Amino acid sequence: MEKLIIKDNNKIIESRQDLRLYNVKYNNIQIPIEYFYNSKKYVIHPVFQRHFVWSKKQKSNLIETILTGMPMPNIYTYLDLTNNQELIIDGQQRLTTIKKFLNNEFKLSGLENKNLNGFDYYTLPQEYKNRIKNYTLYITQIDNLNSKNILYEIFKRFNTGSTKLNAQELRNCIYQGKFNSLIQELTKYEGFNKIFKNKEIDRMEKEEYVLRFFALYENFDNYKSDIKSFLDEYLSSKIAMNDLSDEAFTVQTNEIVLKFKKAVDLCFAVFGFNVFKYCDNKNKTQKVNYKSLSKSVYDMQMLGFTDFDSELIIRHKDIIKKKYEELVLNNEDMRPSYKKMSKKAVSHRICEWKKEVDNIIKNH
């Protein structure tokens, strides 16, 4: 990265700035709404459909804009040449509104032009229906990126609407392929899924749990302290697996899949429905209080068990659970916390916990 010195009256006001130049190429295209509506190539991320937040007035104003022929801002898409689909980067709310209206899901309301209020799509005069179908959408189509990481940056910069994608949802948009599909499949693993049953968890959080295990188990040496970037880079590295045959992909991922399932089953066997939960004894009693799910607890418990013999863990499960509670309550360095995610802190917790488990197995 090149240093940039900016001076103001001989005072340095900025000494280092990232002015990376992205070589992003794009095309400007025009399509009628009717083409967009009937096409299956335009992909609106499911989170925008689940968490659609525009008011009736906002939706009605957009339809009025279309009916009066007024322009609307460009839609930004990314053309994925591998499947000829276009991911909507910016414009999800507008396109979702258009689809909902054409599906007759709402009536126009709150408009200054009161003649339009009360109409849904089916009851509009044919002339007005034709105006909507023939209205031109202006699309800026990005289609020549040499790195998925650049697409990730573009998504982040446009991710400013009222419903923002979280980090895992962004990954799911960008790093699509066999490995991402495997992660989604593993969230349905019975032993894993029952842990999250009736928990307030949504928007691909379970997928992030699975990804954390894979990344920390396979690639911990490259972890620095920024878990978000670490997970981004790990999943990005798996894009190359899309070129494998289904058989070769299964062979290459079989071992880590089995380790994941084994670790989940052992964690549940030891901790039951308190698995992956932060615990304390702040009420100053001898009883341990298990609280909410914690990703840092998950990391420690999963990586702590996965390399041990299952039968030995099960045989000593009561002693192991008691020892775990002693450690996290009495040793602050062993207490998992999202604030203590440096490589040194994470490594210390996992290694010390594995040593304790090993001692129990050998001495009982």
- Do residues 133 and 124 touch, judged by C-beta distance below 8 A? no
CA separation, residue 275 to residues 205, 260, 324 (Å): 16, 15, 12
Q: Please say if the pLDDT value at position 18 is more than 60.
A: no
| Lowest-confidence segment of 149-153, 196-200, 299-303, 359-363 by average pLDDT | 196-200
**Strand, helix or coil for residue 119:** coil
Which pLDDT band, with edges at 50, 70 and 90, does 285 fall under? low
Residue 264 C-beta-side C-alpha neighbours within 13 Å = 23
Give whole-number Cα distances, 72 to 77, 113, 172, in Å.
Answer: 15, 19, 28
Of 201, 227, 219, the C-alpha closest to 336 is 227
Q: Answer yes or no: is pLDDT of 156 > 60.
A: yes
* pTM, 2 dp: 0.76
Q: Are 135 and 37 a contacting pair, CB within 8 Å? A: no
Return the structure tokens found at 67: 């009916």
Strand partners, 12: 7
**What is the per-residue pLDDT across 302-361, written as a single tens digit (0 to 9) for each?**
999 999 999 999 999 999 999 998 888 888 777 776 567 788 888 988 999 999 999 999
Residue 120: pLDDT band with limits 50, 70, 90? very high
Distances (CA, A) of 338 to 120, 241, 291, 298, 313: 49, 31, 15, 11, 27
Task: Assign 104 a pLDDT band (cuts: 50, 70, 90).
Answer: very high
The number of beta carbons lying within 10 Å of the beta carbon of residue 110 is: 14
Which of 71-85, 188-202, 243-257 is least confident? 188-202
Place of tokens 């799910």: 293
Q: Buried b / exposed e across 72-100, counting CB within 10 Å, b at 16+?
A: eeebbbbbbeeeebbbbbbbbbbbbbbbb
Tokens for 110?
A: 């709150």
CA distance 261 to 359: 24
Work out the angle at residue 320's Cα, subtended by the Cα atoms of residues 315 and 325, and round it to the nearest 5 degrees. 155
Residue pair 32/39 in contact (Cβ under 8 Å)? The answer is no
On whether the CB atoms of residues 253 and 269 are closer than 8 A, the answer is no
In the structure, what pLDDT confidence band is assigned to residue 17 with cuts at 50, 70 and 90?
A: very low
Amino acid sitting at position 73: P
Distances (CA, A) of 241 to 246, 276, 285: 10, 30, 51
**pLDDT value for 51:** 64
Q: For the residues 227-247, what does the mean pLDDT come to?
A: 93
